[in-house]
Each structure stands twice: as C-alpha cells, then as structure tokens.
C-alpha cells in the first residue's frame, strides 16, 4: 500500500511497449501509465462510480506484482487521515 498526495493517469502507453501498465513514484505522488483502452475503461468506471483495478507489469510474464486499485468508499474519514 502506497500513500500519495496526487495521482496522474497517463493514457499514452503503447500496447507494443510490452507492458499492461506501469506505475512509478513521482515526488510525493503516483504516476500510472496505461493504454488508451484502459484509460477509456477508467473514465467509464469513474463516471459510473465503480471500483477499477489496473494490473501493472509486463504482458509476457505471469509474474504480476503490482495493482493500482481505485475504490469508492462510504466514509472518507478512515482512509485519508493527515
């Protein structure tokens, strides 16, 4: 679990890159590079207020180690305390 001050979703990752998605720490935030298709799915999930999971890692390995979960919560008090 990583806490971040901000999240950037970059929808320009090429399918030919060999990655499903890539995440990296940038200053005190998180940048998630995703394909245009995944970006469209994320946009629709946000419009519908649905949870969304982004799987990060190389496409050719079964060794997936990271996920970026976007979750809607009922009570924000328990999740983002300063």
Residue ranges per domain, the chain?
Answer: 6-70
- 59 or 53: whose pLDDT is higher? 53
pLDDT tens digits along 4-15: 789 999 999 998
- CA 58 from chain center: how many Å? 15
pLDDT tier at 1, thresholds 50, 70, 90: low
From the options 1.10.10.10, 3.40.640.10, 3.30.1360.220, 3.40.50.150, give the CATH code of 6-70: 3.30.1360.220
Q: Say yes or no to pLDDT of 3 above 80.
A: no
Range with the largest mean pLDDT of 1-5, 43-47, 65-69: 43-47
Provide the whole-model pTM: 0.80
Can you say whether residue 49 is alpha, beta or left, with left for phi > 0 and alpha for psi between -120 and 50 degrees?
Answer: left
> How confident is the model over 35-43, as a mean pLDDT?
96
So what's the pLDDT on residue 4?
78
Token output for 31: 């940048």
């Amino acid at each position: 679990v990583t806490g971040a001050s901000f999240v950037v979703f970059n929808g320009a990752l090429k399918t030919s890159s060999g990655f499903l998605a890539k995440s990296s720490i940038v200053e005190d935030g998180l940048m998630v590079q995703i394909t245009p298709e995944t970006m469209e799915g994320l946009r629709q999930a946000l419009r519908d207020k649905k949870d969304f999971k982004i799987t990060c890692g190389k496409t050719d390995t079964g060794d997936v180690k990271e996920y970026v979960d976007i979750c809607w919560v009922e009570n924000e008090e328990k999740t983002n305390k300063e």
